[in-house]
Structure 1
């Protein structure tokens, strides 16, 4: 269980899976085994999952049932009473219309549906759908108004519960802290305390946040996300450092002229100065049929540094383009290569953040970042990903599967930690060029695209080189999340084929990769715990 919890202790579905694992282990422990602590742990994890989405009526019913068998350590009596009420009142049928509107991308029609049906009975199924869909779209102001106008007169307890969460996600931290303080005190700090700590820290009360996190960890030492967040507050990473030996910022593009224009604008406006070392920019126009080449040439005229442009007559695919850029970087004598997709926006200090990652995580094989969504600012497309165990893959009908607990979290400040992980996305990542070449670069079997970056992460992991997730470096992906986009039939078929090939290749080494991943994750968490204790922030 400790290994599973070390991946993260956030995310409604991840916490549910963790709780189910604890109950499964308890059932298999036998009458003489340590089933009691596992059952208590399972109930705690269910309570934490429910606090992230209180309108999950079946889960609320299970929490109410479990509370009769043994104490619900993460919830107060009022918290259990709320779960019991929501189980009884929140399980009515849901309308299919919001599902269809969301699938069609008619988000304005979705809003009109909720406003038109605000008086519907029963209330809670409608509120559940509004929270799910409008929250996924980061429409927090609308949700606040909806809760005040349409929910509070009929169910003030639910309205206040969700209002504090909406204010936290919207960045209204002072108000959120006030509301979450009440929620934690009334329903249970073990379930609401982490988000209260975020609200306090972001509202300027870092000491209060760290004190609360210390209390959470004293009560639940395996709360890995609380540990990571506490460490990030106590020891914020110092951005900066040099990429000695030079860095080639490398972008490849195919038929995305407008996105490429925005990408280049953000990259060339970012800090690529001499304090980072010698930085060059290279753009490979990968057989584009639009005006991508002209866009790149116009950007070069505005750029004061070194920028190279290469135009290929055909699209050779992402893996080949990445390998060509790697060869070019090696020919130029660059020690580092930073790959960027042609549809991202980078912050001014992105390369400084990656350079700091090299300093802080020297054993990594790749350094990556958190990827935010262009449509929904609260949404994280990708962050720290981890291989799961064979039984988890089997339950998903696969031979190999990954988990990103962070992708379920709609509170971005909570994800600003840095850590070793199993995989990061390829939208923005940094490699040591010679080390990457020694791993044979990106595999052309994944042409024209999809899964070549994950395949490389796993090959490097098997070689003893994990990834470093740098959550304080945040790029915005101009391609919307798969929540909002549906792959074409051909792209979906290609994705399935590449995923099958990836599983076939790496499943035989899964246990080996899990040992390496777990070793780095465990050592990293233990080091953080030790320095927090030394600083007097942890018992």
Structure 2
């Protein structure tokens, strides 16, 4: 019997975590597998024990709460890997605390990984409106996120088909735990507050020889907090993510990273301004893409200056 551990890290978002647990209790159990669950509280105190205990009582599945007081998503996810290893898991699936799963999510994700003989596999994360609804302007930003996610997912599917490398995010992720441990793969604490730790992990896993797979049928939905439904957040998120990506670029190829960054600053700046100016012709998606391009240019410039950022010090959502 194969043991699959499903896990999530959380911090100060009890309502969202409760909604995730509600969706997880409807999971199909894949044939030939048994389930267990680990939830890590990445905060100064452990406050999720009651929610996790209630989940265990409702489902009968083994579930435990783990406390990781060192702030940073990398520490939390590494604590999950260690806990799943201690529990004797064969496979480890990650989900985020602001997401919901379909009943067939885990069955499809695991099957897709096995069919591809992959040790690391991921699936789409589809953004949805916040529980309390959103304004007209926020709805436009949400539509941008939805379309951007579709484009990203299609590119990953094409990359897998053509044998090219692609990155797998930890919001919808399953891994062969023995392969992770044999390769001594962990999330880098240097990216724990900035984000991008899963991109870095995915690329190091690929370099270590793990086979990656994309499973488009294994869909999860992500509730987008209202604080993220603004043009200003699109810019800041793109800037923050790009600083981290620049740091990864520097680690991979320091000789070319700076030259590529300078070229992209010019191209992204120019294309961003053009997209914003032409939005009456091409629509609001082009408008938001333009601001994202400006955020990327800002992030590359900040990276060249040696700046860092700590996007995950502030909690959005509840």
| Helix, strand or coil at the partner of 1:379 | helix
C-alpha offsets along residues 146-184 of structure 1, whole Å, 9 cap, x if unaligned?
Answer: xxxxxxxxxxxxxxxxxxxxxxxxxxxxxxxxxxxxxxx
Q: Is the 8 A contact 1:372 1:381 kept in 2?
A: no
Once the two structures are TM-superposed, the CA of residue 457 in structure 1 deviates from its matched residue by 1.2
Q: Is the 8 A contact 1:416 1:472 kept in 2?
A: no
C-alpha separation between the residues in 2 aligned to 1:246 and 1:297?
A: 20
Q: Is the 8 A contact 1:320 1:442 kept in 2?
A: yes
**Which residue of structure 2 aligns with residue 182 of structure 1?**
none
* Change in 2 beyond 3 A, CA 1:257/1:380: farther
Q: Is the 8 A contact 1:417 1:470 kept in 2?
A: no
**Which residue of structure 1 aligns with residue 169 of structure 2?**
425
C-alpha separation between the residues in 1 aligned to 2:255 and 2:173?
A: 24
**Which residue of structure 2 aligns with residue 406 of structure 1?**
154
* Change in 2 beyond 3 A, CA 1:405/1:360: closer
Q: Is the 8 A contact 1:373 1:480 kept in 2?
A: no
Once the two structures are TM-superposed, the CA of residue 349 in structure 1 deviates from its matched residue by 0.7
C-alpha separation between the residues in 1 aligned to 2:232 and 2:51?
A: 28
* Change in 2 beyond 3 A, CA 1:356/1:383: farther
* Change in 2 beyond 3 A, CA 1:374/1:288: farther
Q: How does 1:38-117 map to 2 (within 5 A)?
A: none
Once the two structures are TM-superposed, the CA of residue 383 in structure 1 deviates from its matched residue by 6.5
**Which residue of structure 2 aligns with residue 247 of structure 1?**
4
Q: Is the 8 A contact 2:41 2:76 kept in 1?
A: no
Q: Is the 8 A contact 1:367 1:429 kept in 2?
A: yes
C-alpha offsets along residues 87-144 of structure 1, whole Å, 9 cap, x if unaligned?
Answer: xxxxxxxxxxxxxxxxxxxxxxxxxxxxxxxxxxxxxxxxxxxxxxxxxxxxxxxxxx
| Helix, strand or coil at the partner of 2:186 | coil
**Which residue of structure 1 aligns with residue 252 of structure 2?**
506
Out of 189, 201, 204, the position equivalent to 1:459 is: 204
* Change in 2 beyond 3 A, CA 1:383/1:504: farther
| Helix, strand or coil at the partner of 1:280 | strand
Out of 111, 122, 127, the position equivalent to 1:368 is: 122
**Which residue of structure 2 aligns with residue 301 of structure 1?**
57
Larger relative contact order (CA 8 Å, sep ≥ 6): 2
C-alpha separation between the residues in 2 aligned to 1:417 and 1:266?
A: 30
* Change in 2 beyond 3 A, CA 1:304/1:418: farther
Once the two structures are TM-superposed, the CA of residue 381 in structure 1 deviates from its matched residue by 5.3
**Which residue of structure 2 aligns with residue 310 of structure 1?**
66
C-alpha offsets along residues 256-296 of structure 1, whole Å, 9 cap, x if unaligned?
Answer: 111111111111221136x2412101111111679544333
- For this pair of structures, how many residues does the alignment match? 239
Out of 336, 339, 347, the position equivalent to 2:102 is: 347
Q: How does 1:515-526 map to 2 (within 5 A)?
A: none
C-alpha separation between the residues in 1 aligned to 2:62 and 2:106?
A: 16
Q: Is the 8 A contact 2:52 2:63 kept in 1?
A: no
CA RMSD of aligned residues (A): 3.5
* Change in 2 beyond 3 A, CA 1:405/1:369: closer
| Helix, strand or coil at the partner of 2:103 | coil
Once the two structures are TM-superposed, the CA of residue 353 in structure 1 deviates from its matched residue by 0.4
C-alpha separation between the residues in 1 aligned to 2:204 and 2:16?
A: 31
C-alpha separation between the residues in 1 aligned to 2:86 and 2:127?
A: 35
* Change in 2 beyond 3 A, CA 1:254/1:380: farther
**Which residue of structure 1 aligns with residue 133 of structure 2?**
none
C-alpha separation between the residues in 1 aligned to 2:209 and 2:102?
A: 31
C-alpha separation between the residues in 2 aligned to 1:488 and 1:305?
A: 39
Out of 316, 337, 348, the position equivalent to 2:92 is: 337
C-alpha separation between the residues in 2 aligned to 1:485 and 1:478?
A: 18
Q: How does 1:173-184 map to 2 (within 5 A)?
A: none
C-alpha separation between the residues in 2 aligned to 1:367 and 1:354?
A: 7
C-alpha offsets along residues 317-375 of structure 1, whole Å, 9 cap, x if unaligned?
Answer: 1111111111111122211111111111111011110121122210x341111111113
Q: Is the 8 A contact 1:246 1:278 kept in 2?
A: yes
Q: Does 2:174 align with 1:436?
A: no
Larger radius of gyration: 1
Q: Does 2:39 align with 1:272?
A: no
Structure 1, unaligned runs of 5 or more? 1-243, 385-403, 408-414, 511-539
C-alpha separation between the residues in 2 aligned to 1:315 and 1:486?
A: 29
Once the two structures are TM-superposed, the CA of residue 493 in structure 1 deviates from its matched residue by 6.5
**Which residue of structure 2 aligns with residue 476 of structure 1?**
221
Q: Does 2:15 align with 1:258?
A: yes
Once the two structures are TM-superposed, the CA of residue 491 in structure 1 deviates from its matched residue by 6.8
| Helix, strand or coil at the partner of 2:28 | coil
C-alpha separation between the residues in 2 aligned to 1:380 and 1:290?
A: 37
Once the two structures are TM-superposed, the CA of residue 503 in structure 1 deviates from its matched residue by 1.4
Structure 2, unaligned runs of 5 or more? 130-141, 257-318
Deviating 4+ runs (over 6 angstroms): 415-418, 488-493
Structure having the larger proportion of residues in strand:
2
* Change in 2 beyond 3 A, CA 1:456/1:342: same
Once the two structures are TM-superposed, the CA of residue 315 in structure 1 deviates from its matched residue by 4.4
Once the two structures are TM-superposed, the CA of residue 500 in structure 1 deviates from its matched residue by 2.2
So what's the TM-score if we normalise by structure 2?
A: 0.64
